[in-house]
Amino acid sequence: MSSEMTSSYSTSLRSQSSCWVEVRQLPLLALLGSLWTVVELQLGNELHWARVPFAGAVLTAAALFILVTVRQAVPRRGSVAAVTFVVVVLKLGFGGPGAPYTALGILIEGGMVELLLPGAGPTFFGAALAGAAAMSWCLVHPFLTQGILAGSGILRVYAILIQRSATLFGLQPESGWIVLALVWFAHALLGVVSGVLAVHFSAKIASLIRPAFPITARLSNRGVA
């Protein structure tokens, strides 16, 4: 069963790789990109001020839902990338001093989802894989932005991550690698669940969105014929 799912997923990726997003589909993508930006700015600020642990994972789960809906509404290669571009530009314009670091994370996150979701539309396997990858990136992102680009040092970022994770899971910080493995597994599992749930609900949402963009709907339908 697993090999059949993988084979079907790979075939879908290859068969749809030439179906790229068209210019007349951009208004819908801009709308969904704006929605993602609002989530990043508003929910991100609320989580920051509330000091919610692993707030990035919460934002990534919300982003996965939006990006899977994007692929469902516009089942073309480049649809997720276009939305990601919109969010990166808006984030750089309105995100404040730390926006470049966040924008870099969004860019990589969106790139992963673009590559891993089949062009013909999201599948459960593809969305689960994309979700696990995006959530795993949440753990790597601070090492790149804070540890390297901001100059805090990788070891310092590692120590903070282990301390927070150990406190959250009720473990001793001395069990560093065990804590790291546990927090990675929790992130990956959340990504898989988020991706699968997004596929389950996004079809209905996409069907409600498309009538507002009739040209986009017709182009999308031809793209998956």
Over residues 25-64, the pLDDT tens digits come to 778 888 888 888 888 888 888 888 888 888 889 999 999 9
Contact at 8 Å (CB) between 210 and 216?
A: yes
How does pLDDT run across 111-155, given as a tens digit for each residue?
Answer: 999 999 988 888 999 999 999 999 999 999 999 998 999 888 999
* 61: enclosing H helix or E strand: helix 55-73
Separation CA 188–CA 184 (nearest Å): 6
* Position 166 confidence tier, pLDDT thresholds 50, 70, 90: confident
The residues that bridge with 20 in the sheet, in sequence order, are 77
pLDDT at 81: 92
User: Do residues 84 and 24 lie in contact, with contact meaning Cβ atoms separated by under 8 Å?
Assistant: no
Phi-psi domain of 198 (left: phi exceeds 0; alpha: psi -120 through 50; beta: other): alpha
Ramachandran category for residue 135: left, alpha or beta (phi over 0 → left; psi -120 to 50 → alpha): alpha
Q: Quickly list DSSP for 180-201.
A: HHHHHHHHHHHHHHHHHHHHHH
The whole-model pTM stands at 0.79
